[in-house]
């Protein structure tokens, strides 16, 4: 049996052995509860026919649990200081490859083709750094990677926003962007007490599963997101006021916007937070011919 990395004693031993100083700027918080890690991995439904992409393996606590379940694990780590640590802690496993790279600058599709060829079932599983959670998720989703989904831990507040429903305080353009690509649900919450060092907030693990059929057919995805972001620019304002102030020449095109809202059966006095993703998609399709240039913004 392997000795788990994710215990308070072993984590401290590893950090001390390498004289490793934790960088807050890289969002480094190391999990010290093996049960939580097993739970995270269980939500990914992995078999030896599965491959996993992990982001930010740290000292390998989650990585080793993934390697026990999956056929192959590729972990992308930005901090060069962790490479010798990972080489040591993960030495019992022969199905892990560490790539030293910034995930935001990594061509993930190339990684899949080069490192995971032959695997049809691919999942992203990670404890994401809080400070770049949203950019990472948006990048992975917009690249339309051949993955089944993701199981990722993040700040609970962000998880609430991603999984939010219309007419709730947490619902916004991030909810729409993620839910357009994936079904989103909170799998579990994680208290701050199971990390070294302890973060200032609690965490949550969300499970993202690719839609079998898209929740809405849109003519231009970028424009859908432009319309949704515009509609939430000032949450207290009506959708008409937000679209007028945010879309190119919106004030001059007030009548065009009003006509589109009427055609989409959306009352112009509603707030953006009350519209479903289907309503946003329909509205974006109707507005698009009059705002072609804004699809590039």
Question: Strand (E) positions, 182-278?
Answer: 182-190, 195-196, 203-210
Here the tokens at position 93 are 């496993």
Backbone φ, ψ for residue 295 (5° rounding): -70, -15
DSSP symbol at 250? T
CA proximity to 208, closest of 45, 35, 68, 57: 45
Whose tokens are 């006509």? That residue is 259
Backbone φ, ψ for residue 183 (5° rounding): -75, 130
Backbone φ, ψ for residue 150 (5° rounding): -140, 145
Contact yes or no for 205/31 (Cβ under 8 A): no
Half-sphere exposure of 26 (CA within 13 A, CB side): 18
Any bridge partners for residue 186, and if so which?
206
Contact yes or no for 128/78 (Cβ under 8 A): no
102 is in an annotated binding site: yes
31 is in an annotated binding site: yes
39 is in an annotated binding site: no
45 is in an annotated binding site: no
127 is in an annotated binding site: yes
Binding site members: 29, 31, 56, 77, 102, 127
Binding site members for S-adenosyl-L-methionine: 29, 31, 56, 77, 102, 127
């Amino acid at each position: 049996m392997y000795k788990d990395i994710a215990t308070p004693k072993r984590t401290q031993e590893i950090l001390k052995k390498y004289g490793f100083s934790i960088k807050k700027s890289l969002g480094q918080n190391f999990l010290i509860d093996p049960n939580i890690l097993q739970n995270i991995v269980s939500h990914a439904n992995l078999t030896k026919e599965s491959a996993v992409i992990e982001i930010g393996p740290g000292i390998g606590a989650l990585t080793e649990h993934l390697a026990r379940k999956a056929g192959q694990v590729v972990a992308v780590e930005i901090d060069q200081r962790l490479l010798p640590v990972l080489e040591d802690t993960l030495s019992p496993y022969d199905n892990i490859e560490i790539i030293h790279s910034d995930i935001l600058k990594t061509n993930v599709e190339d990684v899949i083709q080069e490192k995971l060829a032959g695997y049809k079932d691919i999942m992203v599983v990670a404890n994401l750094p809080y400070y770049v959670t949203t950019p990472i998720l948006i990048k992975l989703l917009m690249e339309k990677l051949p993955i089944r989904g993701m199981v990722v831990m993040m700040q609970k507040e962000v998880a609430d926003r991603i999984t939010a429903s219309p007419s709730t305080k947490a619902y916004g353009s991030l909810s729409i962007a993620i839910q357009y690509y994936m079904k989103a649900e909170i799998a579990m919450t994680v208290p701050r007490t199971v990390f070294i060092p302890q973060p200032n907030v609690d965490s949550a693990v969300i499970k993202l599963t690719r839609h079998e059929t898209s929740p809405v057919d849109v003519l231009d995805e970028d424009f859908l997101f432009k319309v949704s972001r515009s509609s939430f620019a000032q949450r207290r304002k009506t959708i008409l006021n937000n679209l007028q102030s945010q879309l190119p020449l919106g004030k001059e095109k007030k009548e065009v916007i009003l006509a589109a809202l009427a055609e989409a059966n959306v009352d112009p006095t509603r707030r953006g937070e009350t519209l479903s993703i289907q309503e946003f998609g329909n509205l974006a399709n109707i507005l698009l011919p009059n705002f072609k240039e804004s699809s590039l913004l």
